[in-house]
């Protein structure tokens, strides 16, 4: 987009200044959430949010994000460019003020940006304060301007470094290792957020490139959030066309897209001014309230309800994929990380807009309406069956009695933060683990055989699964609506399976269960996968445990292949208690892999693909990745 086509009312007079940078380096967590991996990526998103605000203002069509080999990141856009003219009250260019003063930006007058994700105007200056070095280039009025900074302070003056034929802003920064625990950016984490932004800003092209591994994604969705819902449901059997509503009232814009699939899990994403409100808020509450009431009203009016059956909120969410996006002038987020929307008036606004829009849609599409109501009624019947199964389970087992499963060998410590539970495949491995463990803080729970594939099961079947109920009881959190992470009895839940095909399958079934029904445990960082050794090498009476093929080759250079005894472990049961402790359970020597969700949308897609009903996409996936398989057990 040429500069003459862009809005010209964004100059130094648009910049308002509300404070300095002093506190940012001493208390970074107040501004970016934490100084770990989340806070690190938040730096990139703060800059990208500014580019997206330019897109919302109709002045940007392209955003490029690049992770460089040296660990720095560049964010570039073709917006109007940060103003560079001098601000009379400071005697300095607006660019320098925006980069070095807290709460300096064009987000406070509601003229430059009617709605904004970077609401607080602290983003770019905070990134600058927490960067070891940062360089900004602004293309504006035919010239390219530049300035260099380190840890929030300018190293030189704003200077002209060339001629420009377009407009925009380009920022390259290196995170400060004095501040951050880790400084390595994750391509998937960045991709996940950038994909969301592309869905939420129809027509905006976002490119993300990783020069370290030569990876690249280009996101551009002209269908907006309608495309987002189709993307979420792409490997599922959808039951209706995407329902898409767009409404505006009192300066608040609501856009909603939803589609039911034949599965049993809800997948809802909510956004406020393009910020992913992962903890929901008033807009999500308004959506759920309106959905339940509207479907109940329709079912009642058409005589579809049975006497004893009423559709609950949970029934309307079974198998739904939905995206709710609101845009408003003064969003109230909880903290700078913006995880939850708090504006009380939004609940009623979304409720009324959603109710009227959905009611009209149902009346105009009776066939689809009856299918959706039928799906909800089926969910209600399953909910009653689940309650009966849960009650039966409670009578038969220890789900609510406070007693623990008989097969659990618990630890003596009662502080969850110091306790860990090994979920072990099979009784023989369970026996070795019980003998080899440290009873003070390590509990052992042996599971027999392959657990239920929860991807294909409703909650009442899950409550009838003895192994799953045993697992949930041992962990202590409960299941379904009764899940409570505060009741977790262990802060390390360690999945321990054999290094063969069956072990891999059981591990995948367990991960599917945790992802679908105990996701907060993964998000809290409580779920781990043990890495038992693949080989035991003995030479001159000295033992070496090796965890993969690559390390085995390295060891055999080092010690030579003559006179060695090589054992490949196929199962944990092949190790005696001492070996199991030394290789897999001793905190000093073991290797644990923490399970986390870098990209929730992609994780959902993979679990659906591998564990769901559709065979063809799974076959395609296996054919595509067959040559990547290592340690195939045949």
Q: Catalytic amino acids?
A: 425, 498, 500, 502
The one-character DSSP state at 557 is H
Contacts for 374 with CB less than 8 Å, ≥ 6 apart: 304
Work out whether the CA dihedral 469, 472, 473, 479 comes out positive or negative: negative
Q: Report phi then psi at 152, rounded to 5.
A: 90, -10
527 forms beta bridges with 493
Q: From the CB of residue 542, how many other CB atoms can be counted at a distance below 10 Å?
A: 8
DSSP-assigned beta bridge partners for residue 267: 321
Among 622, 590, 595, 433, which residue's Cα sits nearest to residue 514? Answer: 595
Q: Which structure tokens are listed for 619? A: 């076959």
Helices 187-200, 37-56: axis angle to 10 degrees equals 20
Q: How many residues does the chain have?
A: 634
Pairing between strand 131-140 and 168-175? antiparallel
DSSP E strands, 481-531: 492-496, 527-530
Instruction: Report the number of secondary-structure helices (H) and strands (E) in the chain.
Output: 20, 26
379-391 as b/e, with b when 16 or more CB fall inside 10 Å? Answer: bbebbebbeebbe
d(CA 100, CA 122): 10
Q: Is 240 left (phi over 0), alpha (psi -120 to 50) or beta?
A: beta
- Cβ neighbors of 369 (< 8 A, separation 6 or more) are 298, 302, 361, 362, 363
Helix (H, G, I), strand (E, B) or coil at 65: strand
Report yes or no: 355 and 362 within 8 Å, Cβ to Cβ: no
Longest CA–CA separation in the chain, Å: 83
How far is Cα 2 from Cα 364, in angstroms, rounded to an integer? Answer: 43
The tally of CA atoms less than 13 A away on the side-chain side of residue 328 is 23
Number of Cβ within a 10 Å radius of residue 544: 18
Extract the tokens encoding 81.
């460019």
């Amino acid at each position: 987009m040429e500069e003459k086509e862009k809005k010209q009312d964004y100059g130094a007079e648009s910049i308002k200044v509300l404070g300095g940078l002093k506190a940012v380096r001493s208390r970074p967590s107040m501004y970016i959430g934490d100084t770990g991996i989340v806070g690190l990526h938040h730096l990139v998103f703060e800059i990208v949010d500014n580019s997206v605000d330019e897109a919302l203002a109709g002045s940007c069509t392209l955003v490029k994000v690049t992770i460089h080999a040296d660990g720095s990141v560049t964010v570039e856009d073709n917006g109007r460019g940060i103003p560079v003219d001098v601000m009379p009250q400071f005697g300095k260019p607006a660019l320098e003020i925006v980069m070095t003063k807290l709460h300096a930006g064009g987000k406070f007058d509601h003229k430059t940006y009617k709605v904004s994700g970077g609401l607080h105007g602290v983003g770019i200056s905070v990134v600058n304060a927490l960067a070891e070095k940062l360089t900004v280039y602004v293309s504006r009025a035919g010239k390219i301007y530049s300035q260099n900074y380190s840890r929030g302070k300018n190293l030189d003056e704003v200077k002209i470094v060339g001629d420009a034929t377009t407009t925009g802003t380009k920022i390259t920064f290196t995170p400060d290792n004095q501040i951050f625990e880790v400084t390595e950016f994750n391509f998937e984490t960045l991709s996940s957020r950038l994909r969301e932004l592309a869905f939420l800003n129809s027509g905006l092209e976002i490119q993300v490139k990783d020069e370290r591994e030569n990876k690249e994604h280009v996101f551009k969705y002209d269908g907006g959030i309608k495309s987002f819902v189709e993307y979420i449901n792409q490997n599922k059997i959808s039951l209706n066309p995407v329902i898409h509503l767009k409404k505006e009232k009192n300066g608040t814009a609501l856009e909603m897209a939803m589609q039911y699939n034949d599965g049993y899990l809800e997948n809802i994403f909510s956004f406020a001014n393009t910020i992913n409100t992962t903890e929901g808020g008033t807009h999500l509450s308004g959506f759920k309230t309106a959905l339940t009431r509207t479907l109940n009203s329709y079912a009642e009016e058409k005589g579809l309800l049975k006497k004893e059956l009423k559709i609950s909120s949970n029934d309307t969410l079974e198998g739904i994929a939905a995206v709710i996006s609101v845009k408003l002038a003064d969003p109230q987020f909880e903290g700078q990380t913006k995880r939850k929307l708090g504006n009380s008036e939004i609940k009623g606004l979304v409720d009324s807009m959603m109710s009227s829009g959905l009611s009209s849609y149902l009346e105009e599409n009776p066939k689809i309406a009856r299918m959706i109501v039928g799906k909800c009624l089926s969910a209600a019947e399953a909910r009653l069956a689940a309650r009966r199964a849960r009650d039966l389970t409670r009578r038969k087992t220890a789900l609510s009695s406070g007693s623990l499963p008989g097969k659990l060998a618990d630890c003596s410590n009662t502080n969850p933060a110091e306790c860990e539970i090994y979920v072990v495949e099979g009784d023989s491995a369970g026996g070795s683990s019980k003998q080899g463990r440290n009873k003070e803080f390590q509990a052992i729970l042996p599971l027999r055989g392959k657990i239920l594939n929860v991807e294909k099961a409703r909650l009442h079947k899950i409550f009838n699964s003895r192994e799953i109920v045993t697992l949930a009881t041992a962990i202590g959190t409960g299941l379904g609506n009764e899940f409570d992470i505060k009741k977790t009895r262990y802060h390390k839940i360690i999945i321990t399976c054999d290094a063969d095909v069956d072990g891999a399958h059981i591990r995948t079934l367990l991960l599917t269960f945790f992802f679908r029904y105990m996701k907060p445990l993964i998000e809290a960082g409580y779920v781990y996968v043990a890495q038992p050794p693949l080989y035991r090498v003995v030479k001159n009476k000295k033992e070496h445990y090796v965890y993969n093929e690559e390390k085995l080759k390295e060891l055999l250079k080092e010690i030579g292949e003559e006179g060695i005894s090589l054992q490949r472990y196929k199962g944990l049961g092949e190790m005696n208690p001492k070996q199991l402790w030394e290789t897999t359970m001793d905190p000093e020597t073991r290797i644990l892999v923490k399970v986390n969700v870098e990209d929730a949308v992609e994780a959902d897609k993979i679990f659906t693909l591998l564990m769901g009903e559709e065979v063809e996409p799974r076959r395609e996936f296996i054919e595509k990745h067959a040559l990547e398989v290592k340690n195939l057990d045949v």
